[in-house]
Amino acid sequence: MANADATPVLELSGIGKEFGAIRALHGVDMHVMPGEVVGLMGDNGAGKSTLVKIIAGNFRPSHGEIRFAGKAVHFSRPVDARAVGIEVVYQDLALSDNLTAAANVFLGRELKRKFGPIALLDHKAMAARALELFGELRSETRPDDLVKQMSGGQRQAVAIARTRLSNARLVMMDEPTAAISVRQVEQVLGLIHRLKEQGVAVMLISHRMPDVFAVCDRVIVMRRGEKRADKPIHETSPEEVTALITGAKEAA
């Protein structure tokens, strides 16, 4: 891993995005190292979501370049981003309530067994692999339970297990702790630590200051479409970050 540590998994240079006359992003440079957890903070309309959508392949940037693991990449669809190893855990988790945990983990990439010309789902293998993933994430989640019966923390585990399936190298999490209980927040932060342990880079998009300071190595603050700060977490404080988000402090 020593070699991989030297190259950032994701590197953005001069990223800008215009929607008609509106400049949503301007000149954003940033990088994320393997196994690093980066917090992305900013008020509503600061450009966080636009940035995430550009990295995830939902939008194409108007300016600038994206490099993934050292190579320049151009995404025209989310599938392209996923193909190189970028996974997004969406705020609403993108789970189908009426399916089991294992079915959700494998949604769109089901394991199958061939019976002559017919390919049937391999339920056993999927359940076993899902259980393995939940074990890695130390989550008490049973593969055969329906997602609609699960707690917020378990649902997060299902959404995160999905990213582990493809051995993603960068996982972006959009507000994973926004609507869940205190105990479940602990679980989700634990899940982020598990990803980090396994050398996965994580970008955490969050409004919750305590969570960012609990789990991130570095924090990036966006304001009015520009990057205003990019600091290791131990060199800053919640007060400073708040000042940067609100504009009380222009840049750091």
Partner 1 sequence: MAMPMESPVMFSNVGKTKWWQRGIFASQTGYVLLALAVLLVIMHFASPYFFTEGNIQNVAKNFSFIAIATLGVTFVIITGGIDLSVGSMMCFSAMITSMVMTELSAPGSPAGALFVHMAADGKTVVANLPGLILLVSILAGLGVALIAGLVNGFCIAVLGLSPFVTTLGMLSIVRGLGYVVSNGRGSFPGGPDADRFYALTSGDVLGVPVPFIYLIVLALAMAVVLHHTSFGRHVFALGGNEKAAELTGIPVVRVKIEVYVLCALAAGLQGIIISGWLGSAPANMATSYELNVIAAAVIGGANLAGGIGGPLGAIVGCVLLEVIRNGLVLAQVSSYWQQTLVGVIIILAVLVDRIRSRMN
Give contact residues for partner 1 (rule: CB under 8 A). Answer: 78-79, 82, 88, 90, 92-99, 103, 107-110, 112, 118-121, 123, 131-132, 134-136, 138-142, 145, 149, 162, 167, 197-199
Q: Which of 116, 11, 163 is nearest to 73 (CA)?
A: 11
Closest distance between partner 1 and the C-beta of residue 99, in Å? Answer: 6
Nearest residue (CB) to partner 1, 73 versus 252: 73
Closest distance between partner 1 and the C-beta of residue 230, in Å? Answer: 28
Whole-angstrom distance, CA of residue 177 vs CA of residue 211 = 8
Closest distance between partner 1 and the C-beta of residue 145, in Å? Answer: 8
Whole-angstrom distance, CA of residue 142 vs CA of residue 183 = 19
Q: Which residue has the tokens 């800053």?
A: 236
Closest distance between partner 1 and the C-beta of residue 1, in Å? Answer: 11
Closest distance between partner 1 and the C-beta of residue 29, in Å? Answer: 28
Whole-angstrom distance, CA of residue 70 vs CA of residue 38 = 18
Closest distance between partner 1 and the C-beta of residue 136, in Å? Answer: 5
Contacts for 21 with CB less than 8 Å, ≥ 6 apart = none
Closest distance between partner 1 and the C-beta of residue 82, in Å? Answer: 7
CB 135 within 8 A of CB 160: no
Nearest residue (CB) to partner 1, 65 versus 124: 124
Nearest residue (CB) to partner 1, 143 versus 225: 143
Nearest residue (CB) to partner 1, 84 versus 93: 93
| Beta-strand relationship, 118-121 and 112-115 | antiparallel
Nearest residue (CB) to partner 1, 172 versus 219: 172
| Beta-strand relationship, 71-73 and 86-89 | unpaired
Q: Which residue has the tokens 């970028």?
A: 86
Whole-angstrom distance, CA of residue 179 vs CA of residue 198 = 26
Nearest residue (CB) to partner 1, 57 versus 61: 57
CB neighbourhood size of 181 (10 A)? 12
Q: Which of 62, 58, 88 is nearest to 201 (CA)?
A: 88
Nearest residue (CB) to partner 1, 119 versus 248: 119
